[in-house]
Amino acid sequence: MLNLFGANFCNAFGRAFDDIARELVGVVGDNQMPEIDTAAVAPVRYLFSDKEGDKVVIELPGCKKEDLDVKVVGKYVKVEGKRTLDGQEYKYSTVFMSKNDLEHAKVSYADGVLTVTVPAFKNPEPEVKKLVVE
């Protein structure tokens, strides 16, 4: 298997990418960041978070929809993909954390670009209850 991104990306700081990410993110409650294949980290092209939620766009050129695997692991989203080119298998892997509503996350894939949209938690309107003055 070929190393798609190699040491230039994964060891830019002299250490594996997932080691750096673990130091920065740490542990959130009992949810530890899932393992990823650091030799095949997928490039995140766009990461945006605001009051509406999170949007993450990941380039996965050459992957077929059926070769993508997107999972929610605790407070993390793990994305894995693979493709075969000239008899060589290439793998992609990345993980990101969201403090938003992962239960209602949506994923779309078109033209080699995966988009994960995680909506913010909805704050329900407070219940209005009339109190009787005694």
Which sequence spans correspond to the domains of the chain?
Answer: 6-119
Between CA 18 and CA 36 the distance in angstroms is 7
Contact predicate 107/119, CB 8 Å? no
Between CA 102 and CA 69 the distance in angstroms is 16
**Residues 6 or more apart from 21 whose CB is under 8 A from it?**
33, 95
Quote the pTM value.
0.62
What's the mean pLDDT in 80-94?
Answer: 85
Query: What is the structure's pLDDT at 109?
Result: 94
Give the pair of three-digit tokens for residue 70.
């997107």
DSSP 13: T
Query: What is the structure's pLDDT at 61?
Result: 79
Query: What is the structure's pLDDT at 14?
Result: 45
End-to-end CA distance of the chain: 78
Between CA 91 and CA 73 the distance in angstroms is 20
Statement: residue 117 has pLDDT above 90: yes
Please report which confidence band the pLDDT of residue 55 belongs to, taking 50, 70 and 90 as the band edges. very high
Lowest-confidence segment of 33-47, 48-62, 115-129 by average pLDDT:
33-47
Please report which confidence band the pLDDT of residue 13 belongs to, taking 50, 70 and 90 as the band edges. very low
Contact predicate 44/62, CB 8 Å? no
6-119 folds as Immunoglobulin-like (2.60.40)
Strand, helix or coil for residue 80: strand
- Who has greater pLDDT, 107 or 1? 107
Percent of the chain whose predicted confidence (pLDDT) is above 90: 23
